[in-house]
Structure 1
Amino acid sequence: MLEGLKIVEYATYVAAPGAAGIMRDWGADVIKVEPPGGDPIRLFFSSLGVDAETNPIFEMDNRGKRGIVLDTTKPEGRDALLKLIDRADIFITNVRPGGLKRAGLEPKSVLKRCPRLIYATLTGYGLEGPDADRPGMDAAAFWARSGLAAMFRPKGGDPIQLRTAFGDHVASLAIVSGVLAAVHERSTTGKGRLIDASLLRTAHYVGGSDLAIQHTRGRVASNRPRNAVPNPLVNTFRTSDDRWINLLMRQGDKDWPKIARAIGVDPLVSDPRFSSSRARRENAAALVSLLDAAVERFTYDEVTTALDREELVWAPILSPSEAVSDPQAIAAGCVVQTPTHEGGVFNAPAAPVRFPGADDGPKGPAPRFGEHTRAVLAELGYSDAEIDALYKSGAAV
């Protein structure tokens, strides 16, 4: 779908490289530019003191890209990057505004040089305001400062940490959507533009339902234990064979009789304590206790068969090991085989959208450090002697 689009990625870690990785799966030509020390996410496992033959985090977001190493603190390295940008449709970076300005790569000057360029920035906090230049990874800008960590915090408990790169990958989707909107705009105007994506703004959208309530009502419900939730029918339940299911009730009351019938507690529907949404909320602890006792009389297969018979909404709570081998996840295309440099393949998460009939999967392994530096510089018109000089000066690696 994106064959012919040329992307230069001058970014590290996950969110911005993840966006370029999605577009590479979809056919774009992506050149990843790393600093002399390499993308720090290459060191993820070694930083934890763990020996690992492969780094699936780096591989997932960088598969199929060509990788070069330039030292943009040196004029020759900066000039090489600008020559790459001259030929690109899209430039993606997560370098903070101050760093871009010091390198002479701030949006204003680059867009003046390349007016058709789509210049996409990913920052923690956006390009304006007092904290625009503050470092902000997803656990900080996306999770903590946005209010999400407080909303997920168990009432009376400690805040919980975000899972690895969770907010980053949500931001990747935001960057891709912004870039493709700008690609469409350029097709009619002939002009590129600046895209300002941030972890903070993405998080405000992700938490938008709660934050919309906060904006209008001045408060949101706390994250409560199972026996004190506002709607006890939207809950988790354990079966007799120690499996957990997540049960959801649609809006209104029409699902309540179906749930009661499925688990054999029909009389509760007419019980005054549970006959309305308000009554169920006020008597949540009692109702959850009764429902727990009812569900625990059934095996997983028995209760899920009954729920399906009533056409109710539920899902199993799977462990990560179960999730990656879930037959439905496989059928939905959630897992793809990523090539290795040695000629093999390994399973990895797919890009988030499938295009039936199209080649929308990995295009190759993630680049080794500096793997394509010499070849890409040659494509830019550098002679062998000029490339050797860049290596000798340390501007290229």
Structure 2
Amino acid sequence: MLEGIKIIEMATYIAAPSAGGIMADWGADVIKIEPLGGCPMRKFYASAMTDDYPDNPVSALDNRGKRAIAVNTGTQEGREIVRKLIEDADVFLTNVRPGQLTEQGLDFDTLSKINPKLVYASVTGFGLQGEEADKPGFDTAAFNAKSGFGWMMTPKGSAPAPLRTAAGDHITGIATASGILAALLKAQRTGEGELVESSLVRSAAYAVGCDYGTWLRYGRIARSRPREEAIVAINNYYVTKDDCWLFINGRPGEPDWPDVARAIGREDLIEDERFGSLRDRRRNGVELIALMDEAFAQKTLDEWKPILDEAGLIWSPVQTFEQAFEDPQMHDAGVFVDMPKADGTSYKNIASPIRFGNESTDPKGPLPEIGQHTMDILAQNGFDEETCETYLKAGIIGQHEG
């Protein structure tokens, strides 16, 4: 899909690299510029005290299929290498803090003079303007905490919980890839590049935009409650006879209420005055949830499946990763892919989020080693062998030994 698109990615951790990773899966030539010691995510399992894991699926998910070059951008020569790579690039993707990029002469204004058609994608925690523009921010702090996302997702009366690894980063990465592709269309149409600004806080606010928009307009929003006190009984989790959880999801306005009542064998509740209207069901929600708890506890999950499906209800079992992996529909949806390794073997990993009808979105290669393609990339961009060896000895570039 994106063959012929050249992306220079100078980014660490996850949000920005995930955008590059998606586009690498789609066929773009993504050149990953790393510090000489590599991106910190290469040491993810060591930091989690599990450094005996032979593979790194976390780093591989966002960096597979890229070409890797190790450059010390703290040197003038290193920065010149980046600028040289920019000359014929389509995209520059970075999550380096804006102040540092300006100091290094790698900001949008500078690079767009080198390449006027360049799409320059900046991923930050808090945006490019304001007092916190240069503040570091991971998704747990910026996406989850700062934006209001974490507060909205926390049931009333409960302590906030951190996001799981990179959940906000990957949402932001999808948004960033979308912005890059829109800017590429403009560049192809007009010959003019564009600044694409993506931030963790903006992506988070959009992710809970329905609730946020309600609060902005009316100054109030109903918080999530404990399951036993859910506002809408037919939008809730229930446990079955065999201790499996399922989620039933009624449509707005609760037109599904009669179908739910019939499906759980409590058609009598339809005429019960306590639950006769939407407001009645809200007012007596604790009682209704308790009655539905009793009903769902009468059958196993396997027994409920055909009943709920035949009733045409929106529902799903709450699955573990293992159960989800064993679910044929997850495979039919293309959720899992074979992650290639340098030795020719592979292991299962997660696919990027979009599948096309006639184009493969499978990984285009393994996770590259630090500096694996340094010499090849420099040679392709006009650096002679003597210069490369000088830079290598001086610690301006690095290459993988092996």
Structure 1 residue aligned with 2:120: 119
How many angstroms apart in 2 are the aligned matches of 1:253 and 1:212?
22
Q: Which amino acid aligns with 2:40?
A: P
Name the SS for the 1:9 alignment partner. Answer: strand
Structure 2 residue aligned with 1:7: 7
How many angstroms apart in 2 are the aligned matches of 1:359 and 1:327?
20
TM-score, normalised via structure 1 length: 0.98
Offset, 1:221: 1.1
Offset, 1:41: 0.7
Structure 1 residue aligned with 2:59: 58
Q: Which amino acid aligns with 2:376?
A: A
Offset, 1:324: 2.6
Matches within 5 A, 1:185-334: 185-334=186-335
Structure 2 residue aligned with 1:161: 162
Q: What per-residue deviation string (whole Å, max 9, x for no partner) do you get for residues 100-153 of structure 1?
A: 012111111111221100000000001001110000110011000110111122
How many angstroms apart in 1 are the aligned matches of 2:323 and 2:113?
51
Q: Which amino acid aligns with 2:321?
A: P
CA RMSD of aligned residues (A): 0.9
Q: What per-residue deviation string (whole Å, max 9, x for no partner) do you get for residues 317-368 of structure 1?
A: 0012212332111000010111101100111111111002212110010110
Q: Which amino acid aligns with 1:48?
A: A
Offset, 1:188: 1.5
Q: Which amino acid aligns with 1:61?
A: D
Offset, 1:236: 0.6
Offset, 1:190: 0.8
Whether contact under 8 Å (2:86, 2:114) holds in the other structure is no
Q: Which amino acid aligns with 2:226?
A: P
Whether contact under 8 Å (2:79, 2:104) holds in the other structure is yes
Whether contact under 8 Å (2:36, 2:370) holds in the other structure is no
Offset, 1:314: 0.3
Number of aligned residue pairs = 397
How many angstroms apart in 2 are the aligned matches of 1:107 and 1:137?
23
How many angstroms apart in 1 are the aligned matches of 2:310 and 2:268?
19
Offset, 1:37: 2.2
Offset, 1:310: 0.8
How many angstroms apart in 2 are the aligned matches of 1:10 and 1:83?
14
Instruction: After the TM superposition, list the runs of 4 or more consecutive aligned residues in structure 1 that deviate by more than 3 angstroms.
Output: none
Structure 1 residue aligned with 2:386: 385
Name the SS for the 2:31 alignment partner. Answer: strand
In structure 1, the gaps of 5 or more residues are: none
Q: What per-residue deviation string (whole Å, max 9, x for no partner) do you get for residues 202-242 of structure 1?
A: 11100101100110111211120112111111001111111
Structure 1 residue aligned with 2:28: 28
Name the SS for the 1:273 alignment partner. Answer: helix
Whether contact under 8 Å (1:118, 1:194) holds in the other structure is yes
How many angstroms apart in 1 are the aligned matches of 2:114 and 2:26?
28
Name the SS for the 1:173 alignment partner. Answer: helix
In structure 2, the gaps of 5 or more residues are: none
Offset, 1:59: 0.7
